[in-house]
Structure 1
Amino acid sequence: MITGPTEQAPALVVLCTCPDEATATRIATELVATRLAACVTRVAGATATYRWKGRVE
């Protein structure tokens, strides 16, 4: 039980891409199991807009 003030780590949002759902699940499980992440949300079917070689794709 925590009884006094504690120093908190800053909150971070990290985005990454994975080649398939199995890889994403494996990474998410490992991050939470090792307490490197409190929560991992996987977003299937995300669409990106980006600049590539001077054009917006």
Structure 2
Amino acid sequence: MTSRNKKQRKLRNAEYYDFQGILDKLYADSKNGKTFTNLVELICLPQNVELAYRTL
């Protein structure tokens, strides 16, 4: 599998588990200089756990 195909699959998986919106918001906020705390709450979201399991 090529690097491009892996990247596309990861994006599809994130969209499938409704986690892409959260990732996009984190990225946008980080570009605006926001400092994050309490990210454990996001890590523990069921969508993220399912996405991580799927990725493995």
Greater strand proportion? 1
Which of 1 and 2 has greater Rg?
1
Q: TM-score, normalised by structure 1?
A: 0.32
Q: TM-score, normalised by structure 2?
A: 0.33
Greater helix proportion? 2
Q: Which has the higher contact order (CA 8 A, sep 6+)?
A: 2
